[in-house]
C-alpha cells in the first residue's frame, strides 16, 4: 500500500511538471518554427532575463518556505510576509528600473517571483497543501500562461516580446487567487506580529539565498548574456544556443520531479538521500541516450534550420547530466540550512563560468560557450558532492 501511495504521488506531481514543461516545449517549438531566428533569439533573451530578475524579487523565500517552515502556521504566515516583502521590493526597484527604462520588467518579475513555477505560492502549496494540490496549481497556471503566449504570438504579432506581455494579462487573475487563498485562512494580526519577528531574523539567511539563487541562475544563463554582449549576430546565436539548451533541459524533469515530490521525506529521513540519488543517476543516464537520438531526428526531419547545432547540443546535454545529478545535492544543502556553503559554491561557479565562457567564446565561438558550461557544471557537481559528504560525516558522529 505504501509503495502504491508513493508511486501515485510521483505520477501526479511528476505529471504536472511534465505537463508544464510540455506546454513550454510547445511554445518553444512553435516559436522556433513560426518566428525568424532573430525574433526567436529575442524571445529567449527576455525569457532568461525575467527568470534571473525574478530570482532577486523572490528573495530566496521559496527555498526558505520549503526548507525552514515546519508548522502549518509558520508556512501560512511566512507566505503572507513573503508576498508583502516582494511588493516592497518591487516598489523600491521600480524607481531605479524606471530611471534605466526597464520599468516594463517590474510586472514580469513580480509574477514570476510570486506565482509562476518555482515561485513563492507554488512552494507554499507544496509544503502546506501537499504535492497533489501543488500539481493542480502548477498545471492550471501553466495552461493559462502558455496559452496566452501562443495566442499573443499567432494573433497579435508580439514576436520577441511575448514573455513580457503575458505577465500583464495573467497577473490580475493570479492576484485574485492569492486574495482568495488568504481569505480562506484565519489570519490573526498578533500572529502576524509574532512571525514578523522571526521573519526579520531570517532575512539575512534569505538574503544569502537570494544572492545564491541569483548567482545560480546567472551561472546557468551566463551563456546567453555572453552571446548577447559579444556576438555580432547575438539574437541568431542565442536562438541556436537556446534551442539546443531547451531540449537538453528535458533531463531536469527527472530530478525536479523526484526531489520536489519527496521533499518532506528528505527533510525527515536522512537515510533516504542515497536511495533517491541512485534512482536519479540511473534515469538521467537513460534519458540522455534517448535525447541524443531524439535531437538528431528532430533537427534532420523538422527543424532543419537548427541542424548545425547538433555538436552544441551534445556538449550541452553532457553538461546537463552533471546539472541534473547535482540537483539533489543542492537541495540537501538547503534542507540542512547550509545557505552559506550554497552561496559560496554558486558565486564561485558564476565567476568561473563568466571567465570560461568569455575566453572560450573568443577561441571557439558559440561552441566554446557550451564547453564553458560543461566544465563549470562538472566542477560544481564535484564541489556539491564534497560538501554533502562532510555533512554526512558530521551528522553521523
Look at residue 283 and tell me whether its pLDDT is greater than 90: yes
- pLDDT, residue 206, reads 67
Cell of 144: 493559462
Q: State the average pLDDT over residues 352-357.
A: 91
Q: At what angle do helices 253-261 and 272-301 cross, to 10 degrees?
A: 150
- pLDDT, residue 324, reads 93
pLDDT interval class at 2 (50, 70, 90):
very low
Mean per-residue pLDDT of the chain: 86
pLDDT digits (tens, 9 = 90+) for 78-127: 888 889 999 999 999 999 998 888 999 999 999 999 999 889 999 898 88
Look at residue 395 and tell me whether its pLDDT is greater than 60: no
Contacts of 166-175 spanning 24+ positions with Cβ under 8 A? 167/50, 167/107, 167/108, 167/110, 167/111, 167/112, 168/107, 170/111, 170/115, 170/141, 170/144, 170/145, 171/107, 171/110, 171/111, 171/115, 173/144, 174/111, 174/114, 174/115, 174/121, 174/141
Going by C-beta distance under 8 Å and a sequence separation of 6 or more, which residues neighbour residue 97?
103, 105, 106
Give percent of the chain with pLDDT exceeding 90.
46
pLDDT digits (tens, 9 = 90+) for 210-243: 777 777 777 778 888 899 999 989 999 999 999 9
Q: State the average pLDDT over residues 25-29.
A: 88
Measuring CA to CA, which residue among 93, 330, 68, 59 is closest to residue 211?
59
pLDDT interval class at 296 (50, 70, 90):
very high
pLDDT interval class at 1 (50, 70, 90):
very low
Give the CA radius of gyration of the chain. 21
- pLDDT, residue 189, reads 76
Amino acid at each position: 500500500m505504501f509503495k502504491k501511495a508513493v508511486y501515485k504521488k510521483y505520477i501526479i506531481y511528476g505529471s504536472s511538471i511534465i505537463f508544464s514543461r510540455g506546454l513550454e516545449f510547445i511554445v518553444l517549438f512553435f516559436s522556433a518554427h513560426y518566428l525568424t531566428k532573430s525574433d526567436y533569439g529575442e524571445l529567449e533573451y527576455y525569457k532568461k532575463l525575467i527568470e534571473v530578475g525574478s530570482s532577486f524579487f523572490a528573495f530566496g523565500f521559496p527555498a526558505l518556505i520549503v526548507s525552514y517552515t515546519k508548522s502549518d502556521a509558520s508556512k501560512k504566515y511566512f507566505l503572507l510576509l513573503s508576498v508583502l516583502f516582494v511588493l516592497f521590493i518591487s516598489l523600491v526597484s521600480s524607481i531605479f528600473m524606471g530611471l534605466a527604462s526597464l520599468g516594463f520588467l517590474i510586472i514580469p518579475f513580480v509574477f514570476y517571483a510570486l506565482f509562476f513555477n518555482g515561485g513563492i505560492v507554488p512552494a507554499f502549496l507544496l509544503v502546506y497543501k501537499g504535492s497533489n494540490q501543488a500539481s493542480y496549481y502548477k498545471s492550471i497556471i501553466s495552461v493559462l500562461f502558455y496559452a496566452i503566449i501562443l495566442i499573443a504570438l499567432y494573433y497579435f504579432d508580439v514576436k520577441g516580446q511575448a514573455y513580457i506581455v503575458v505577465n500583464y494579462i495573467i497577473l490580475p487573475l493570479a492576484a485574485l487567487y492569492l486574495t482568495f487563498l488568504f481569505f480562506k485562512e484565519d489570519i490573526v494580526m498578533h500572529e502576524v506580529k509574532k512571525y514578523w519577528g522571526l521573519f526579520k531574523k531570517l532575512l539575512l539567511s534569505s538574503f544569502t539565498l537570494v544572492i545564491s539563487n541569483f548567482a545560480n541562475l546567472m551561472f546557468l544563463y551566463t551563456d546567453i548574456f555572453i552571446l548577447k554582449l559579444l556576438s555580432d549576430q547575438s539574437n541568431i546565436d542565442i536562438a541556436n544556443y537556446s534551442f539546443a539548451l531547451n531540449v537538453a533541459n528535458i533531463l531536469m524533469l527527472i530530478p525536479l520531479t523526484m526531489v520536489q515530490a519527496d521533499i518532506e521525506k528528505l527533510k525527515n529521513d536522512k537515510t533516504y538521500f542515497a536511495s533517491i540519488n541512485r534512482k536519479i543517476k540511473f534515469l538521467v543516464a537513460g534519458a540522455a541516450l534517448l535525447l541524443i537520438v531524439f535531437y538528431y531526428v528532430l533537427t534532420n526531419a523538422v527543424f532543419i534550420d537548427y541542424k548545425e547545432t547538433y555538436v552544441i547540443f551534445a556538449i550541452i546535454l553532457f553538461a546537463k547530466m552533471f546539472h541534473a545529478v547535482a540537483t539533489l545535492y543542492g537541495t540537501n544543502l538547503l534542507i540542512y540550512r547550509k545557505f552559506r556553503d550554497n552561496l559560496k559554491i554558486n558565486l564561485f561557479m558564476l565567476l568561473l563560468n563568466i571567465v570560461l565562457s568569455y575566453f572560450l567564446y573568443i577561441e571557439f565561438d558559440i561552441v566554446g560557450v557550451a564547453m564553458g558550461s560543461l566544465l563549470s557544471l562538472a566542477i560544481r557537481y564535484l564541489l556539491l558532492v564534497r560538501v554533502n559528504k562532510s555533512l554526512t560525516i558530521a551528522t553521523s558522529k
